[in-house]
């Protein structure tokens, strides 16, 4: 007999050759809270039995025996459901253990039956303290031997929510609502106790009934106490009714709303009324965490990335990773408590399974390091509070961690930003101009993306043409070649291309700072000698040579660095010089410079002004599908980019972070400083002209694709279709807005002015 854990005191399970090891999944897989249990059920099957129940799961076999999860059992998120399912489980003496339940109320009824049968139950999402202990050595009223969980104990979550309320929000009064369920009541009480321990006052502690739809009475009761914050750790659909009806109750305007992990699910967070809420829940920042029982390549990040391909959707709730860890712990316990006898039968010692689980220490799981205490609390106990700003971008909100907590205490990790005035300004402009929507993203050097919103037809991932907001990207491609020693920005173009001798003094730096002396885009975009810049059928090299060598422009060309001439053909020349210096196409240069090191999803150049009608009053008829854009070997260098707001925001962060995209260096800090400089002032003491009027604006300069404001120090790059990007280098933030219109209703300059003040105030207010 091989060594194994257990003394036989709880009996044995014998699995004959050819049979399977039996475990069960017990989760809420129907009804209003199916969103909570379905990701759990799927993860259990994926690990134990391959997802389809027919193949070996990611864990593999145990001593040559495969594992069966059986039919998924439904706890109905209720005591009755948990008890009924547990009765079915214990009737089968071959079952070793259970992964479940989803809901604490179901566990309270199921746990005594599972315990009495000598089995074990490991829950990925029960959090009620009553199921384990008070963390001070006293068992909870619903604790039974054989119960374990990888989820946290809500005494920690209550402390986290209270710490956030007092330390970050600075509130001193709060109310709490539960629904009588062990989870909701336990968490509400944990919050209330911790809040009062921190010096706060609970003005109302009350309950709704499951099934209630009229929340006016309970909200009126809450309002009577005049709290600053309402904490309601309940489920759907009652949570839906609260956020939809709260503003109908006098006295509730201005009350901060905070929910918990029961509502931290896509179904709820996609409700527009849920915007502005805070949520406490498990720390979801699993990143590259691995589970020590799985292949090293199966990281949490990879598992989450592949989940939609297996199941057709993203996980709808947060405890999928806890389910993976719960399943591998159970299977490891079975392995440690079993042996194969002389007849080839697998013998599993039930007491040994409990012995293994009770002694788990520093087990590496997707959710972190797991250690089980004497009452079955095994979770990493890491809690975060997130801020929900955009119902159209749930993933963005889930990543918006403001406060983090562990048993050692809590701390604020992100500032609170209030962009309500910004949203109001953007919504007003879009409505006034009758536009189809907009997107806005704000980034900060330290905090990353601090605000993102989408209006109307705009959704995350929308691809837009951005016209001249392409310039800062194009200038950066040339600067990268300069850094690599392949191109000298301040040496004549003639050093790179033979046809450069036609204008022997012009340099690449002058081309991308609109000071080359060549004729600019205004006042005549269709200046005949340069019209090839719109011809998508030619090549960049042929067009640039034609522009640079024509003699038809002789009377109109000025000496370099003597006049500001916005845009136009000089940018095509710059792109061709970059190709010649590198021996690569413009598309390859963009990919190598920005797409690959920054992990961008969509950033490419075409010739939109050559493909679409030149109607300056409307946005081109582009449907957001890059496949509808005709490829061209003569991409428009100054205005040919199509991209998403997320990808552009990544580039803005790179500029704010000294040339770094994550861990990858794209530009040196010195090169970034050059790209941000006011070259017009430095080289020839000039002022940039307004491209539409031709009037010099003394406070306005120009650098390498950026306009500069000499009064505020901010730099910006607007485009004809309504996009605009700007950076405040002193205060460390940037913004990017996308409208889809023409220069009139999509006036990028105007929308920048509309939003600049509110964005600046929101950032400075948060940062003190």
- CA 284 – CA 398 distance, rounded (Å): 8
Which of 441, 454, 382, 367 shows the shortest CA–CA distance to 413? 382
- CA 279 – CA 168 distance, rounded (Å): 14
Q: Which residues of the chain are modeled with pLDDT < 50?
A: 1
- CA 66 – CA 47 distance, rounded (Å): 12
Residues 401, 429 within the same domain: no
> What are the E-state strand segments in 236-392?
256-259, 278-282, 338-340, 346-349, 363-365, 368-370, 383-387
Residues 147, 161 within the same domain: no
**Could you give the residue ranges of the DSSP H alpha helices within 503-539?**
508-511
Which pLDDT score, from 0 to 100, does residue 522 have?
A: 83
Domain contains 5:
no
Domain contains 2:
no
Q: Is there a contact between 581 and 496 (Cβ–Cβ < 8 Å)?
A: yes
- CA 22 – CA 49 distance, rounded (Å): 11
User: 236: domain CATH number?
Assistant: 3.40.50.2300
User: What stretch of H or E contains 73?
Assistant: strand 73-74
Residues 232, 358 within the same domain: no
Q: For residue 26, with 0-12 CB atoms within 10 Å meaning exposed, 13-18 middle and 19 or more buried, which class applies?
A: buried
Domain contains 398:
yes
Domain contains 376:
no
Domain contains 378:
no
Residues 600, 451 within the same domain: yes
- CA 730 – CA 135 distance, rounded (Å): 48
With b for 16 or more beta-carbon neighbours within 10 A and e for fewer, the 727-763 pattern comes to bbbebbbbbbbbbbbbbebbbbbbbbebbbebbbebb
The SS3 assignment for 511 reads helix
* pTM score, whole prediction: 0.74
Residues 303, 405 within the same domain: no
Which of 683, 722, 282, 269 shows the shortest CA–CA distance to 512? 683
**610-611-613 Cα angle (round to 5):** 90
- CA 720 – CA 620 distance, rounded (Å): 11
Residue 284: both structure tokens together:
């979801």
Angle between helices 471-483 and 645-656 (to 10 degrees): 50
User: Regarding beta strands 256-259 and 229-231, do their DSSP bridges make them parallel or antiparallel, or are they unpaired?
Assistant: parallel
Q: Is the N-terminal amide bond of 724 cis, ω within 30° of 0?
A: no
Residues 75, 171 within the same domain: no
Residues 702, 727 within the same domain: yes
- CA 561 – CA 686 distance, rounded (Å): 8
Domain contains 346:
yes
The SS3 assignment for 703 reads coil
Which pLDDT score, from 0 to 100, does residue 195 have?
A: 98
Give Rg (Cα) of the chain.
Answer: 31
Which pLDDT score, from 0 to 100, does residue 2 have?
A: 59
Residues 551, 638 within the same domain: yes
Residues 494, 598 within the same domain: yes
**719-466-700 Cα angle (round to 5):** 25
Residues 179, 106 within the same domain: no
CA 532 to chain CA mean position, Å: 42
Count of Cβ atoms closer than 10 Å to residue 484 Cβ? 11
Q: Is there a contact between 208 and 179 (Cβ–Cβ < 8 Å)?
A: yes
Residues 295, 392 within the same domain: no
Which pLDDT score, from 0 to 100, does residue 684 have?
A: 67
Note the maximum CA span of the chain: 102
- CA 643 – CA 462 distance, rounded (Å): 8
Count of Cβ atoms closer than 10 Å to residue 615 Cβ? 10
Which pLDDT score, from 0 to 100, does residue 618 have?
A: 81
Residues 542, 653 within the same domain: yes
- CA 432 – CA 628 distance, rounded (Å): 30
Q: Is there a contact between 732 and 760 (Cβ–Cβ < 8 Å)?
A: no
CA torsion through residues 649, 653, 656, 658, sign: negative
Backbone angles phi, psi at 62, to 5 degrees: -110, 110
| Distant-in-sequence, close-in-space partners of 200: CB < 8 Å, separation ≥ 6 | 162, 165, 166, 171, 172, 173, 174
pLDDT in tens, 155-186: 999 999 999 999 999 999 999 999 998 899 99
Which pLDDT score, from 0 to 100, does residue 698 have?
A: 61
Q: Is there a contact between 215 and 294 (Cβ–Cβ < 8 Å)?
A: no
Range of the domain at 19: 12-151+288-370
Which of 568, 530, 535 shows the shortest CA–CA distance to 548? 530
Domain contains 6:
no
Q: Is there a contact between 512 and 471 (Cβ–Cβ < 8 Å)?
A: yes
The SS3 assignment for 293 reads coil
Domain contains 355:
yes
- CA 485 – CA 595 distance, rounded (Å): 21
Residue 440: C-alpha distances to residues 399, 458, 462, 752 (Å) = 17, 10, 12, 11
> Which strands sit side by side in the sheet containing 464-465, from one edge to the other?
464-465, 641-643, 603-605
User: 731: domain CATH number?
Assistant: 3.40.710.10
Which pLDDT score, from 0 to 100, does residue 223 have?
A: 98
Q: How many domains does the chain have?
A: 3
């Amino acid at each position: 007999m091989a060594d194994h854990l257990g003394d036989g005191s709880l009996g044995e399970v014998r699995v004959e050759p050819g049979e399977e090891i039996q475990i069960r999944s017990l989760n809420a897989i129907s009804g209003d809270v199916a969103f909570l249990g379905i990701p759990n059920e799927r993860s259990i099957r994926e690990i134990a039995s391959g997802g389809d129940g027919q193949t070996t799961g990611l864990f593999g076999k145990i001593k040559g025996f495969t594992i069966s999860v059986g039919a998924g059992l439904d706890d109905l998120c209720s005591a009755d459901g948990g008890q009924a399912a547990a009765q079915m489980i214990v009737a089968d003496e071959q079952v070793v253990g259970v992964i479940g339940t989803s809901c604490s109320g179901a566990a309270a009824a199921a746990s005594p039956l599972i315990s009495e049968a000598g089995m074990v139950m490991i829950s990925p999402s029960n959090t009620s303290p009553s199921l384990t202990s008070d963390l001070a050595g006293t068992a909870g009223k619903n604790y039974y031997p054989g119960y374990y969980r990888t989820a946290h104990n809500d005494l920690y979550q209550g402390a986290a929510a209270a710490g956030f309320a007092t330390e970050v929000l600075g509130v001193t009064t709060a109310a709490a609502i539960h629904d009588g369920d062990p989870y909701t009541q336990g968490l509400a009480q944990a919050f209330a106790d911790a809040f009062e321990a921190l010096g706060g006052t609970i003005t109302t502690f009350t309950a709704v009934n499951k099934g209630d739809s009229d929340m006016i009475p309970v909200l009126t009761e809450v309002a009577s106490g005049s709290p600053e914050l309402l904490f309601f750790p309940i489920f759907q659909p009652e949570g839906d009714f609260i956020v939809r009806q709260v503003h109908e109750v006098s006295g509730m305007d201005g009350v901060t709303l905070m929910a918990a992990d029961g509502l931290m699910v896509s179904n709820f967070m996609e409700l527009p009324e849920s915007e502005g809420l805070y949520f406490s829940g498990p720390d979801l920042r699993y990143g590259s965490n691995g589970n020590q029982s799985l292949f090293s390549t199966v990281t949490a990040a990879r598992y989450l990335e592949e989940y939609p391909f297996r199941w057709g959707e993203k996980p709808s709730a947060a405890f999928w990773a806890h389910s993976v860890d719960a399943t591998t712990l159970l299977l490891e316990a079975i392995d440690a408590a079993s042996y194969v006898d002389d007849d080839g039968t697998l013998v599993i010692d039930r007491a040994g399974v409990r012995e293994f689980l009770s002694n788990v220490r520093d087990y590496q799981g997707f959710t972190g390091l797991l250690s089980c205490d004497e009452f079955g609390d095994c979770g990493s106990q890491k809690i975060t509070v997130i801020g929900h700003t955009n119902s159209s971008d749930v993933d963005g909100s889930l990543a918006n961690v403001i406060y983090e907590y562990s048993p050692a205490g809590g701390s604020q990790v992100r500032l609170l930003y209030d962009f309500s005035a910004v949203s109001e300004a953007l919504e007003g402009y879009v409505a006034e101009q009758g536009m189809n929507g907009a997107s806005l993203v704000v980034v900060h050097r330290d905090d990353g993306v601090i605000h993102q919103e989408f209006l109307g037809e705009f959704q995350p991932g929308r691809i837009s043409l951005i016209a001249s907001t392409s310039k800062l990207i194009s200038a950066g491609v040339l600067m990268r070649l300069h850094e690599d020693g392949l191109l000298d920005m301040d040496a004549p173009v003639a050093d790179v291309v033979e046809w450069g001798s036609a204008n022997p003094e012009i340099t690449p730096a002058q081309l991308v700072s609109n000071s080359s002396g060549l004729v600019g885009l205004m006042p005549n975009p269709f200046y005949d000698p340069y019209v090839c810049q719109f011809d998508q059928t030619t090549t960049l090299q042929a067009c640039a040579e034609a522009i640079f060598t024509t003699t038809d422009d002789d009377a109109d060309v000025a000496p370099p660095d003597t006049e500001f001439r916005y845009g136009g053909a000089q940018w095509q020349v710059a792109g061709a010089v970059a190709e010649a210096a590198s021996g690569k196409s413009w598309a390859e240069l963009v990919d190598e410079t920005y797409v690959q090191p920054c992990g961008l999803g969509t950033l490419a150049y075409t010739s939109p002004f050559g493909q679409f009608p030149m109607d300056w009053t409307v946005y081109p008829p582009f449907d957001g599908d890059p496949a509808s854009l005709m490829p061209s070997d003569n991409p428009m260098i100054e205005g040919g980019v199509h991209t998403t707001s997320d990808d552009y925001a990544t580039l803005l962060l790179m500029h704010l972070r000294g040339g770094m995209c994550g861990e990858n260096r794209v530009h040196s800090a010195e090169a970034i400083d050059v790209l941000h400089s006011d070259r017009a002032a430095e080289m020839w003491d000039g002022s940039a002209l307004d491209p539409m009027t031709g009037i010099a604006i003394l406070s306005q300069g120009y650098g390498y694709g950026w306009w500069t404001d000499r009064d505020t120090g901010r730099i910006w790059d607007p485009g004809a279709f309504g996009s605009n990007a700007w950076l405040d280098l002193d205060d460390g933030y940037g913004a990017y807005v996308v409208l889809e219109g023409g220069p009139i209703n999509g006036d990028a300059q105007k929308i920048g002015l509309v939003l600049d003040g509110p964005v600046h105030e929101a950032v400075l207010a948060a940062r003190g």
